[in-house]
Amino acid sequence: MAEGVPLKPRLEPGHYRGRWSVPDETGAVQRLDGDLDLTAGRPPTVSASGRVPLAAEQGDGFTTAAFPQRFTHPVIVGELRNGPTVLLLDAEVETWHDDLAFINARAALVGPARAVLDVPPFFDTITVQITGLDAYAGVGPIRSFTLPASGQSFYEHLWQVEPNPDSTQTWADDHAELTLDWASAVAQELAFFRMAFSPVAIVTLDEPLDVDDCLTMWIEPLRRIISLATGRVEDITYLTLSRAAGDGDGEHDEFQVYGHKLDQAPFATRDTDVRKINAAFRATTEATSPLQMLRVWQRLHDEHHPLLETYGASIVLPRQHPRSTYLLLVQALEGLFGHEHQTEHEENVAAYQAKRDAAIAALEQVPDLPAPVLKFLRKYLMRKPHGGLDQCLTHMFTSLPYDVSEELAATTLVQQVIHDAGETVGLPAALRAVRNDLSHGTKGYPTMDLYAVVQILDRVARAHMLRVLGCGTDAQLKAARGDRP
């Protein structure tokens, strides 16, 4: 673990010896010895030995069993030799021999010794650290400090640090409270002194949630909101879930969470790192609070909002090839436009269908019109108007505080498409032509030419995502313009 970091996980990534309670088909539990492997950012595994539960058949005085055998359990509980209780979630027990088993779990929860939990466990407090959280918080833990001026004697002047109580920020609604705070540590010796702070976000819930709901409703949305603010892919570096202890004395049992993309490598804030991040918005700069943004995110998730399920889902994913990213971004903008102009679209469809029906009725009255021609028209004359991607893109660009149209029009890709078309198409039509070529596989384009356009379209999608979440025009402007430090 990094020296000088106040936030400490209960266990550092590594190997730990323990005993594991593994149920068999009847529900009876076998106690197996085994090593827990906690590798940073990866799902936990256990190599266990002992009397492994098996599915066996009895017959003719013999017991037979087929291998390999696999069993799944919502939770497997273990006790480590150094004390902590461990819960393995969604655990698969894979057995190749009657005294050896491998357990692969989706996540491991490491808590206090002999902790008693329901299955599945529910939690009412989430403590998480995410990279970029200090820049997003917008308020540091130190208000000011006083040091001797250059050339002055160290022994004749006072060293002072004034804390900043405003750095603890809290928002609440009827069912939850969100706090951005700082874990602190002081190292002091006769000839050494240091203060360090780690940013954390704490969510306190009126109604406890299971692990999946904590992730999908709070942790991942907060991670994506911070990524939207910073314009970077941010990572979860620390995560604990807490619930009331079983003795009812008001204390909480805190469980460290290990699993995929959970590095459990907390950091301490450094001013040089924060200054490198030019956030489009911070927790302190928007009328819409972080808690309100999380509530909007949850509502959009429940509504299957098209921008959230396309662009929102891609914010923290590794970057894909510009071809697939181009298609995703155009689809995201098209879906957003259709969602926000649904009534207008339905009216256009109704008007078009009325005109189509009138045209077919008129053709039916034409003397000597061959029946096959009329049948062809009924079958192939579109029942709905064109999707209007050109209109969609024009609106998506011009409705932001910063219009990217000139930037896009100047790119090599758009210039080449317009040139090939004999300068008879404009910017939206050129982008539509590229989308059609890529989605239908009829034509490809140079990777770097696509990449240049994708970078601009990503800024457009990011700005609209901020608008949908309730951010003001200043944040949208910075995102659309692609401001850099």
For residue 80, give its domain range. Answer: 14-52+68-111
Asked if the structure places residue 4 within a domain, the reply is: no
Let me know whether 192 and 86 are in one domain.
no
Asked if the structure places residue 295 within a domain, the reply is: no
Let me know whether 325 and 470 are in one domain.
yes
Q: 3-state DSSP call for residue 156?
A: helix
Asked if the structure places residue 59 within a domain, the reply is: no
Q: How many CA atoms lie within 13 A of 191 on its CB side?
A: 0
- Token pair listed for 346: 């339905």
**For each of the chain's 485 residues, which pLDDT tens digit applies?**
467 788 988 888 899 999 998 887 777 788 889 999 998 889 999 998 888 777 766 666 666 677 788 888 899 999 999 889 999 999 998 888 778 889 999 999 998 887 777 778 899 999 999 999 999 999 988 888 877 777 666 676 777 888 889 999 999 999 999 999 999 887 776 777 788 889 999 999 999 999 999 999 999 999 999 999 999 999 999 999 998 876 666 688 899 999 988 888 899 999 889 999 989 999 998 889 999 999 999 999 999 999 999 999 999 888 889 999 999 999 999 999 999 987 676 667 777 777 888 888 888 788 878 888 888 877 777 776 666 788 899 999 999 999 999 999 999 999 999 988 887 788 999 999 999 999 999 999 999 999 999 999 999 999 999 999 999 999 999 999 988 65
Q: For residue 167, give the DSSP letter.
A: G
pTM of the model: 0.86
Let me know whether 260 and 344 are in one domain.
no
Asked if the structure places residue 5 within a domain, the reply is: no
Separation CA 101–CA 95 (nearest Å): 5
Element (H, E) at 334: helix 322-340
Give the number of other Cβ atoms within 10 Å of residue 443's Cβ: 12
Query: Would you call 150 exposed, middle or buried from its count of C-beta atoms within 10 A (0-12, 13-18, 19+)?
Result: exposed
Asked if the structure places residue 297 within a domain, the reply is: no
Asked if the structure places residue 300 within a domain, the reply is: no
Let me know whether 219 and 257 are in one domain.
yes
Q: Please say whether the beta carbons of 128 and 238 come within 8 A.
A: yes
Which own/partner contact pairs does 421-426 have at CB distance under 8 Å and 24+ positions apart? 426/390
Region at 173 (left for phi over 0; alpha for psi -120 to 50; beta for the rest) = beta
Let me know whether 46 and 170 are in one domain.
no
Let me know whether 127 and 107 are in one domain.
no
Count of domains in the chain? 3
Phi, psi (deg, nearest 5) at residue 343 = -65, -45
Let me know whether 420 and 349 are in one domain.
yes
Q: Please say whether the beta carbons of 214 and 290 come within 8 A.
A: no
Let me know whether 473 and 326 are in one domain.
yes
Q: Please say whether the beta carbons of 116 and 221 come within 8 A.
A: no
What are the pLDDT digits (tens) for 147-162?
Answer: 777 766 667 677 788 8
Let me know whether 474 and 327 are in one domain.
yes
